[in-house]
Structure 1
Amino acid sequence: MKPSVYELDELNVESTLGQRGLESDQVSIPVIDLSDFENRREAITQALWQAATEVGFFQVKNHGIALRDIQRAFLTSEQFFALSTAKKQAYPLKDGLNAGWEFKAQVRPSTGTPDQKESYQITLPHMAGLWPEPDEVAGFQSIMLDFERQAWRLGMAILSCFADKLGFERDFLRGCISRSLSIIRVHCGCCITCRWRYYRKGTITGAPAPTRISTA
């Protein structure tokens, strides 16, 4: 079967990935405390670096995003997913652009099969005609964009630590990322993921600053 070709470079890269992983109960995902960030920057940087290089994942706490704002974002997304299928179908996922609503329809390039989930994706330049009407979900657009802005600040603070560790200027990695290409993926009953693609040699090549907020 001829492989799919996607408009977004990162999806073409993802289509070359994917293999059976390994399960292990010997490694736990570190939880890193970001409180008093500026005064504890060195210790936080070391903890982030250790987690990233030795485990590959980490969680953060005391990150500065208020619990009420997280709960508001989840409540708003729940209200959207509670709409009838007919109403949600008015905001369909735009092919290859990571924007809009889908239900078990998005084919992951790494597997070639549809994801078994329902989601709504927000990619800032591609949202024309995809925001729910105010009488369907009050404040949806403003609430989700405010949440993205807070996640952006968190992601950039974390990236600044990695820039320090790598010997770059503190804002170097932030300067490589296009804020206009922010992606918010809202998963029904699960989590909200925010990520930002970065540029390298003039092309979009990846998403190094994901921030995942979960109900768990």
Structure 2
Amino acid sequence: MTITQESAQAQRTKAVLYKPIDLSDFERRKDQIATELLTAATSTGFWHIVGHGIPQEDIDAAFALGGSFFDLPASAKQATRFIPRDYVGWRSLSELEAMSGTRNWEWYSVAYDGPKTDPRADSVWPAEKDLPGFKPRSLAFARQCHEVATRMVSALEQALKVEQGYFVKMLDLQQGNNPSILAWNTYPPKPATAIAQGKEFRLHAHADTDFLTLVFQRPGEPGLEVSPGRSTLADERLGKDLTGAWNGVPSDAGNVWYPMDPVENAITINIGDVFMRITDDILKSTYHRVRTPAPNDHEGERRTIAYFAWPNRDAIIQGPQKKYAAISAADLLASEGNAYAARKDDETWKEVAYRAQHENPYHTRKHESVARSPIPAN
């Protein structure tokens, strides 16, 4: 399918993906905002927001903060090594290369309540002597992100006609057991010609496991692609892991991938598996990936920040129709991290996720999403 022959469905998808939703004057405009969010969340599962209230200087400072961590010597970062069950800590280029077979990505993440299941609880934070003030500054930015996420969840509650506060209470930071994650990603400079003519990916196609995700991208650093609607076909060679985390990898046949490039002053948003599960698939947790530079793209370093808004650990995730088995947020989070750990030495995973499926990563294939009706009121 060429650009000139795109379907009416593709045009509708692009209209949702690329027209930012304005959150400004939130309380007065909540009805309108709720309607727009529901349209995006039930169709593409991905959208941009503006008018979110986080000053650009705070976003720039958060990028600089993450950069200061990545610039530390490996010996200092090694002390913060990744804890799979809690999905926090540092994943080095070499560690991620062991998982993917490609040396394209480095990660560091922190959480509100810290890891509760690992004796190295404080070790995910860099030493104060290495990065003075890193922890309070990180948590301050995370709180700003959490407030934006909570507003959107509140609006979606209203649009879905569920009991007021039903979802929002699961995000209550005052309970002291919220594992929401602030993560920094860095992708080293990679000219397209250096990575199999652009046929490998910086980050494999996947869906997030949280309520919803806020992604901060820097202008001029594209690469994020989405396959809207989560009716995307999964590759049968992998299937599901553990309790449903890492729900396979989308096959290369029958799926459309749309670029989700940075938009000035906007945050990119996507629905995660928690919201999909708790609404019995009405909201769409959408596959997305990060490609290597296309011809004429920025070939330098790419950095992003992601905020994964999670329910409190004791929240039970199940929709009214019980389409998915009940599971606590803590167990769902652990299943995600444990699935990651299990994949590190899985050669089939590497082949499917990072190499075999990507014969032409810039090709758009036919795909139609499925409309769903609103969730019944609780």
Q: Which interval holds the TM-score relative to the shorter structure?
A: 0.7 to 0.9
Give 1:133's aligned amino acid.
Answer: A
Report which of the two has the higher share of strand: 1
After the TM superposition, which parts of structure 1 deviate over 4 Å for at least 4 consecutive aligned residues?
none
Query: Quick check: 1:178–1:196 contact (8 Å CA) kept in 2?
Result: no
Q: Where do 1:173-184 residues align within 5 Å?
A: 173-177=167-171, 179=173, 180-184=178-182
Aligned match of 1:21: none
Going from structure 1 to structure 2, the CA distance change for 1:129 and 1:34 (only over 3 Å counts) comes to same
Structure with higher Rg: it is 2
Contact conserved, 2:107 with 2:184, CA < 8 A, in 1?
Answer: yes
**Take 2:85 and 2:155, find their aligned partners in 1: how far apart are those partners?**
32
Alignment partner of 1:100 is 2:100:
no
d(CA) in 2 for partners of 1:154 and 1:63?
7
Gaps of 5+ in 2: 1-8, 116-120, 187-301, 317-325, 334-378
Give the number of aligned pairs. Answer: 181
Change beyond 3 A, Cα 1:54–1:96: same
Q: Distance in 2 between matches of 1:77 and 1:132?
A: 11
Aligned equivalents of 2:114 and 2:68: distance in 1?
Answer: 24
Distance 1:83 1:119 in 2: 13
The answer for the alignment partner of 1:131 in structure 2 is 125
- Distance in 2, Cα, partners of 1:202 & 1:32: 32
Report the AA paired with residue 182 of structure 1.
Answer: S
Matches of residues 144-155 of structure 1 in structure 2 within 5 Å? 144-155=138-149
Identity of aligned residues (%): 26
Change (3 A) 1:147 1:167: same
The 1:34–1:141 alpha-carbon spacing in structure 2 relative to 1, beyond 3 Å, is: same
1:185 matched to which residue of 2?
183
The answer to whether structure 1 residue 54 and structure 2 residue 43 are counterparts is yes
Cα-to-partner distance string for 1:149-186 (whole Å, 9 max, x where unaligned): 01111000000011001112332101234642111111
Which of 33, 36, 39 pairs up with 1:44? 33
What CA deviation, in whole Å up to 9, does each residue of 1:98-148 have, x standing for no partner? 1211114259xxxx7468411111123214122112332232111110011
Residue 319 of structure 2 corresponds to which residue in structure 1?
none
Give me the whole-angstrom Cα distance separating, in 1, the residues matched to 2:75 and 2:29: 50
Q: Work out the CA distance in 1 between the residues paired with 2:108 and 2:101.
A: 15
CA contact (8 A) 2:22 2:52 kept: yes
Does structure 1 conserve the Cα–Cα contact (< 8 Å) formed by 2:145 and 2:307? yes
Normalised to the residue count of structure 2, the TM-score between the two structures is 0.44
C-alpha distance after superposition, 1:44-71 (max 9, x if no partner): 1111111112222111001011111111
Match of 1:79 in 2: 68
Classify the secondary structure of the residue corresponding to 2:81.
coil
Indicate the SS of the match to 1:92.
coil
Q: Which runs of 5+ in 1 are unaligned?
A: 1-23, 208-216
Alpha-carbon RMSD across the aligned residues, in angstroms, is 2.6
Whole-Å separation in 2 of the counterparts to 1:39 and 1:206: 36
Cα drift, residue 25 of structure 1: 6.8
